[in-house]
Every structure is written in C-alpha cells, then in structure tokens.
Amino acid sequence: MLHEWMNLNETMIDEMKSGRWTKTVDKLMKSGKHIWTADDLLPAFTYVVVRSQIRHLGTEILLIDNFSRDFRGSGEISMMFTMLQSSYHIICNEKNRI
C-alpha cells in the first residue's frame, strides 16, 4: 500500500510540474497584480499535501472535523480546512483513476 501511495505521489507531482496551472501561476506571480482566490490556491495546496505524504490523511481529517467544530466558523481556518478536505478528495479521485 505504501508503494502504491509513493507511485501516486510521483505521478501527481509529475502531472503538476508539467501542468498548465504551473505556467499560469508563474505568470501571475511575476505580474504581482493578481488577487489570489481559493480556486487559484487549490492546485498549489494539493501539491503541498501530496508532497507532505501525510499518513492516514483521511483519518486525520475526520479527527480534526470531529474535535474542532466549535472552533471553526466562516473564517480563514474554516477555509483552510475545507481546502484540505478538497485536496484529499482530489487525491482519492486521482488514486482511483490510476
């Protein structure tokens, strides 16, 4: 299972390195005029999650969800947690596709 996860990471990293969004992000970063939205940050956030190789990420997300509902509202922390969940779903869907 760990071997499959490592192969998945390498495949996703290769796709992200050669992907269109990398060129778009580079162009926007150089211009300095772009306002970053969640749609812009999700691919980069997913890349960081894949590279971090967190074991049992789904379990960690459930743990955070179960014990932090009182602390999360509609602010920045809630947005970051939602991005983490979205990244996890992207990774799972990509894993099932391979």
Q: How far is CA 75 from CA 19, 58, 72, 84, in A?
A: 30, 22, 7, 15
Domain-by-domain residue ranges, the chain?
2-97
Q: How far is CA 96 from CA 1, 4, 51, in A?
A: 13, 11, 19
Give the phi and the psi of residue 71 in degrees, each rounded to 5: -90, -25
The amino acid at 59: T
Dihedral sign computed on CA atoms, order 51, 55, 59, 65? negative
Provide the pLDDT confidence category of residue 1 given band limits of 50, 70 and 90: very low
How much is the pTM?
A: 0.63
pLDDT in tens, 35-84: 778 887 888 889 889 999 889 999 999 998 898 877 777 788 888 889 99
